[in-house]
Amino acid sequence: RSVVTPSTEKVFLSLARAVHLHSGGLCVSQIGTGKLETIHEFSRCLGRPFFPFNCTRFLTHDVLCDIFKGLASTGAWVCFNGLNQLSASLLSILSQHLSSLLQAQQAGKSSVMIDTCEVPLNMDAGCFACLDSSVRVKPSNPENVLIFHSVASTLPQDLLVQFRAVSLVKPDNRFTMEVLLLSQGEKTCPLMYLNSIVARFPQCC
């Protein structure tokens, strides 16, 4: 299990708000900050089945349709890792399917139309995405939607507005190591040894 830090709890609150409002959750941060693991841990806390998908060239139109059909009918959570790696055509298709799903949930419908197929709708379904970015979060558009300039040129606006954006910071290695040591039965650890472990911790991950 992942270590839940104070910053992780804030991310959980933002993602919980997105789920409550039937919106998508978008985690943006630098590489190695645990975006996917944070969403995975959040799904574990709520007891939701979670399925991550890496956005590669093997992700086709038919695969996207199957993902959203299964997502809508089973109430599972999915996460698209590296969303900005998809082509413009696939991003457009994903935006259409996600919009249909979220609008059906917000309207309280019992079914949703996915690619000319009517699928029974489970209200617990959730969609998340992860993006790698080194640019700070800045609200820039008139609708006060958070736009990440590093990915705004590759993601369509109609797709971004369907997500509630969350920015992750660098993980607290000291806090994480203290929790890991306590979980292994270590009650006391000299400060010198703890500093040495924290310094080597990124090399072990």
3-state secondary structure 127-154: EEEEEECCCCCEECCCCCCEECHHHHCC
Q: What pLDDT is stored for residue 122 in this prediction?
A: 93
Mean pLDDT of 170-192: 63
Mean pLDDT of 28-43: 85
Average pLDDT, the chain: 79
55 pLDDT tier (thresholds 50, 70, 90): confident
CA 164 to chain centre: 10
What pTM was estimated for this model as a whole? 0.76
Choose between 101 and 10: higher pLDDT. 101
For residue 20, pLDDT over 60 is answered with: yes
Q: Looking at the structure, give the CATH architecture of the domain made up of residues 6-167.
A: 3-Layer(aba) Sandwich (3.40)
Mean pLDDT of 107-136: 86
Please, what is the Cα angle at 74 between 69 and 75, to 5 degrees? 105
Burial zone of 193 (CB within 10 Å; 0-12 exposed, 13-18 middle, 19+ buried): exposed
Q: Which residues, in sequence order, are bridge partners of residue 124?
A: none
Contact 48, 12 (CB under 8 A): no
Q: pLDDT, tens digit, for every residue of 76-110?
A: 999 999 888 888 889 899 999 999 999 999 999 99
Q: Which residues contact 8 (CB under 8 A, 6 or more apart)?
A: 2, 38, 41
Domain boundaries, the chain: 6-167, 173-204
